[in-house]
Structure 1
């Protein structure tokens, strides 16, 4: 188990000169499991087409923070286009004043428009 943890550390350029404590090893294993689960989720969604198929249907049910979190997750694993599509789809249903809001009816002088 400690060999696995050392390999994970080495992969990220971190080399510890003293032996790991059991708590440190357990924490790193938890982090590795989280990373693996997140990677598996992203891979499953992108390779099966779910990311492209479902995001358009659920755009109006995601809050801004949920859309940003989902986009960040895909972006972290290299799926920039999917992340951009999530935000773009979400922004179509945002209301005036929401952070991703975009519509032709609002102008830059509109008091509710906060889109960058």
Structure 2
């Protein structure tokens, strides 16, 4: 039983860390992020955008994805999810 409790506690800590990350960084993604040296590949962009979407930051996720697709680092290594504007 304690193994299950420990695993559950660890999962809650991971989820809290992910939520904290999203809250801290959702305001920093903007159209100028490439000017500040952001260099996310397709895989990283998809993962970060998915994380933002899971926590309801659709606008941030969509903006990040649009910016990436227009930027120099998008080489179509992975298919990007469809951007759904009505969730913003």
Runs of 4+ in 1 over 4 A off after TM superposition: none
Q: Count residues in correspondence.
A: 74
The separation in 2 between residues aligned to 1:90 and 1:26, in whole angstroms, is 38
Structure with more contact order per residue of length (Cα contacts < 8 Å, sep ≥ 6): 2
Residue 92 of structure 1 corresponds to: 70
| Residues 22-65 of structure 1, C-alpha deviations (whole Å, 9 max, x = no match) | 1100000000000001111111112xx3123664442xx21111
Structure exhibiting the larger radius of gyration computed from Cα positions: 1
TM-score normalised to structure 1 length = 0.57
The separation in 2 between residues aligned to 1:54 and 1:41, in whole angstroms, is 20
Shift of 1:81: 0.8
Residue 29 of structure 1 corresponds to: 9
The separation in 1 between residues aligned to 2:4 and 2:52, in whole angstroms, is 28
Residue 56 of structure 2 corresponds to: 78
Bigger helix share: 2
The separation in 2 between residues aligned to 1:73 and 1:55, in whole angstroms, is 18
- Which 5+ residue runs of structure 2 have no aligned equivalent? 81-88
44, 47, 61: which one aligns with 2:24: 44
